[in-house]
Amino acid sequence: MKNLLIIFFTLISVQCYTQISICGTDEYNKPLIENNPKQYESIERAIQNYMSGARFKTTGKIIIPVVFHIIWQDDNENLADSVIHHQVEVLNEAFNVTNSDTSILTDTLKKWVGKFEISFELAYLDPEGNPTTGITRRKTQAPHFSYWGNYMKFDSTNGTDAWPTDKYLNFWVCDLYGGLLGYAQFPGGPSETDGLVLDWQITGNQIYPWTYPNLESFAGGRVAVHEVGHWLNLFHPWGNNGPCSEDHIPETGKQAGPVYPSAQCPDTLISDCDPPERVFVKHYMDYCGNECMVCFTKNQVERGIASLMTNRLSIIENYIPKPIVNTFDETKINPTLTKGRLYFEFPEYEGRLDIEIYDIMGRVVWSTNLWGERYYQLFLGKNVNGTYIIQLIHNKKGVFNKKIVVNSSSPFGANLKEEDIYLNKNN
C-alpha cells in the first residue's frame, strides 16, 4: 500500500510538472463559479446589458489605483521598487496601446486593436489615509504558494491582507509553485481575495535567473496585463468552460486551447474546433509569449469596459484623485545675478502658468505663459541693468516671487544671440 501511494504521488508530481499551468485563472475561479452560478450569470447579464445598451462609449481617462504586495523569502524575490514601477509602465502601455510592437500586426489585424484608455497608478494613500509608495513587503516563511488556499492573501497565512478591494486593485507578487505564472479572480468572488497574483519572476520587465526552463518568453511584464484582463472578466480565447467554449469575443475565433510561444507567433491559425475557425493569436489573453502578446482586441476592450462599469464600478467611484501639490516653492530660477539670461525649473503642475517680470516701479516689463513645461529660459536683453521681481501666477494666484539683478558685468547669464528675447523697458 505504501509503495502504491509513493507511485501515485510520483505520478501526480510528474504530471503537475509537465502540465505547467502558466495561468491558473480558470482552475482558481471554477469552484467559485460552480458554488454560486446564479451570481455569475447575473454578472454576465450585467455585462451583456451594458454592451447592448447605448451606454458604451469611449470613457476618457479612468485611473485605477493599485497596490503591490511583495511576499518574499529570498532577496531575489524582494523586487526593487523600480521593478514594480516598470510593471506599472507595461500595464499603462498595454491599456493605452503606447507599446511600439503592435508593428508586428498586419494592417488587417491592426483594425482589430482596441484601446482601453485606462491608467494604473500606484496608490498614494494607504487604507488609513497615510502616504504610501503603493508597495508593501513581507518576509514570509512559506517557500512557495499556489492558488489553493490563497495563502499569500492573508497576514495569518504568511502573506499580506488585501487592501479594500473596492478601492484598490491588489497585486500579490510571490513565488508561485510548479511553473504557475499568475492567476486572477473574476468579478464575483470573495472581496478579501479579489485581485491578482503574479510569480515574482515575470513581474516587471526584467529577466531574472529562471527556475523553469522555456518560460523566459513570459518575462516582460505582460502576464500582469493578461491577469488584469481576467480581473476585468476577459476569458482565454478558448473560453473558461472547456476547449472551444465561449469567450464572448468574436474576432478571436473559437479556439481549442492555448497558442504557446513555440508556435512562433503566427498572424492567425486555424483552430481544431468543430467547425474549425480562423483565430487571432497576437493578443494578451492567449499564451503566445511576451513577443507575441501585443494588444487587446476591440471586443475585449468593450467587454472589459462593460465589466468595469458594472461589476467593478466601485473602484472608479471610490478613486480620490491625487491632489496636485503646487509646491512652486521648489521653483528654481538661476542665476539671480545675471548678465540677462535666466533658467527656470518648475515643479510638476497642471494648467497655465504665467511668468511676469516687474521693474522696481511695479510695471510689468515682460510676460509669457506656459502650459505644463518644466523648463524654460529667457534672455532679458542687453543694457537693462536693474533690479526686477519675477512673479509666477498659477490658477490666477501669485504662487512664487523672486528678486533678480541684471548687471552686464555679472560673470553669469551671458548674452545670447540677437534673436533672443529683449526686454523693452518702455512698454
Catalytic residue numbers? 227
Contact stretch for Zn ion (CB under 5 A) within 19-27, 141-149, 306-314, 404-412:
19-27
**Minimum gap (Å) between residue 95 Cβ and Zn ion:** 16
Contact stretch for Zn ion (CB under 5 A) within 17-25, 274-282, 379-387, 402-410:
17-25
Contact stretch for Zn ion (CB under 5 A) within 25-33, 85-93, 255-263, 378-386:
25-33
**Minimum gap (Å) between residue 286 Cβ and Zn ion:** 9
CA–CA gap between residue 268 and residue 3 (Å, rounded): 48
**Minimum gap (Å) between residue 138 Cβ and Zn ion:** 25
Tell me if 255 contacts Zn ion by CB under 5 A: no
Contact stretch for Zn ion (CB under 5 A) within 21-29, 186-194, 237-245, 320-328:
21-29
Q: Which is nearer to Zn ion, 24 or 65 (CB)?
A: 24
**Minimum gap (Å) between residue 333 Cβ and Zn ion:** 53
Tell me if 21 contacts Zn ion by CB under 5 A: no
Q: Which is nearer to Zn ion, 68 or 218 (CB)?
A: 218
Tell me if 233 contacts Zn ion by CB under 5 A: no
Q: What residues are paired with 66 via a beta bridge?
A: 122, 169
290 SS3 class: coil
Contact stretch for Zn ion (CB under 5 A) within 23-31, 144-152, 323-331, 395-403:
23-31
Tell me if 197 contacts Zn ion by CB under 5 A: no
Q: Which is nearer to Zn ion, 23 or 180 (CB)?
A: 23
CA–CA gap between residue 427 and residue 366 (Å, rounded): 9
Identify the CA nearest to 164 among candidates 187, 183, 191, 137.
191
Whether omega before 335 lies within 30 degrees of 0, making that bond cis, reads yes
Tell me which residue has its CB nearest to Zn ion: 23
**Minimum gap (Å) between residue 293 Cβ and Zn ion:** 11
Element (H, E) at 66: strand 62-72
Q: Which is nearer to Zn ion, 114 or 229 (CB)?
A: 229
**Minimum gap (Å) between residue 222 Cβ and Zn ion:** 11
Q: Which is nearer to Zn ion, 25 or 160 (CB)?
A: 25
Q: Which is nearer to Zn ion, 122 or 198 (CB)?
A: 198
Other beta carbons less than 10 A from residue 43's beta carbon: 19
Q: Which of 21, 25, 158, 326 binds Zn ion (CB under 5 A)?
A: 25
Q: Which residue has the cell 497574483?
A: 197
- 145 is written with which cell numbers? 504558494
Tell me if 23 contacts Zn ion by CB under 5 A: yes
By rule CB under 5 A, what count of residues binds Zn ion? 2
**Minimum gap (Å) between residue 302 Cβ and Zn ion:** 19
Q: Backbone phi, then psi, for 152, in 5-degree steps?
A: -70, -10
- Beta-carbon contacts of residue 402 (< 8 Å; ≥ 6 apart): 331, 333, 336, 389, 390
Contact stretch for Zn ion (CB under 5 A) within 16-24, 91-99, 301-309, 385-393:
16-24
Q: Which is nearer to Zn ion, 234 or 265 (CB)?
A: 234
Identify the CA nearest to 235 among candidates 186, 162, 166, 295.
186
Is the CB of residue 405 less than 8 Å from the CB of residue 330?
Answer: no
- 384 is written with which cell numbers? 537693462
Name residues contacting Zn ion, limited to 282-341 (CB under 5 A): none
Other beta carbons less than 10 A from residue 399's beta carbon: 17
Residues, the chain, total?
427
Eight-class DSSP state of 200: G
Q: Which is nearer to Zn ion, 25 or 297 (CB)?
A: 25
Report how far apart, in Å, the C-alpha atoms of 414 and of each of 163, 337, 386, 390, 402 are.
Answer: 55, 11, 16, 19, 20
Strands 352-359 and 364-371: antiparallel
Q: Backbone phi, then psi, for 7, in 5-degree steps?
A: -60, -45
CA–CA gap between residue 415 and residue 396 (Å, rounded): 32
Positions touching Zn ion (CB under 5 A) are 23, 25
